[in-house]
Amino acid sequence: MAQAKTLSQIELDLVLHYVSTKKYALRDRALILTSFLGGLRVAEIASLKMGDVLNLDGSIRNEIRLSAEQTKGKHPRTVFVSQRLQTELANYLSTRHIKEADIPFFIQITDWDLVQMAYVCGFISFIRMWVLAAEVAIREGNSLLLPSPIKALAFES
C-alpha cells in the first residue's frame, strides 16, 4: 500500500491560515496539528476523550494511549505528544470550560466537520498545484504569477 503524502511546511502554513478564518479556528488548528504532528487518523482524533489527553492535574499528557477500539487496525498504540503539539492542545483547551475525563476532547465534531476536513484535504491537493506553480514563478523571478497567499509566504524572508 502506498504511503500517504505529507504536507510541506508551506502547505501546512496555508492550511493553518485558511482555518484561522473559520468559526472554530483554535479547534480546527488543533485538529489539523494533532493529525500532522501526532500522526493520528481522523477517526482516532474524533474518538479522543479528555481523559485520553489530560493528566489528572489538567495538563496535557506527554503521550496518548489509544485503545484497540480507537484505532484503524484494532491494535492499541501510544502516540507521543511533542512540546509543540502540547502547546497547541493547551491553546485549544483554553476554550473549553468542562474538562471531565469521559467527554470528547474535540467538541462538536459532526459529519459536516468531517466533510470539511475532507474538503481541506482536497484543498491541500489544490495547494500543492499552487506551490508547484509558485516554485516555477519564484525560480524565474516573476512574482506577478503568484496567488497572494503564496506571494506573502514566499517573499517573507
Angle at 38 between CA 123 and CA 99, to 5 degrees: 100
Residue-wise pLDDT tens digits, 98-150: 888 888 898 765 555 555 665 666 656 556 655 666 666 666 565 555 555 54
Asked if 62 and 81 touch (Cβ cutoff 8 Å), the reply is: yes
- At 125 the pLDDT is 59
Q: In degrees rounded to 5, what are phi and psi of residue 70?
A: -90, -10
- Whether 156 has a pLDDT exceeding 50, the answer reads no
Q: Residues 127, 147: contact at Cβ < 8 Å?
A: no
Question: Which residues have a Cβ under 8 Å from the Cβ of 30 and sit 6 or more positions away?
Answer: 88, 89, 91, 92, 106
Residue 61 in contact with residue 48, Cβ under 8 Å? Answer: no
Find the helix or strand (DSSP H, E) in which 64 lies. strand 63-66
**Three-state SS at 94:** coil
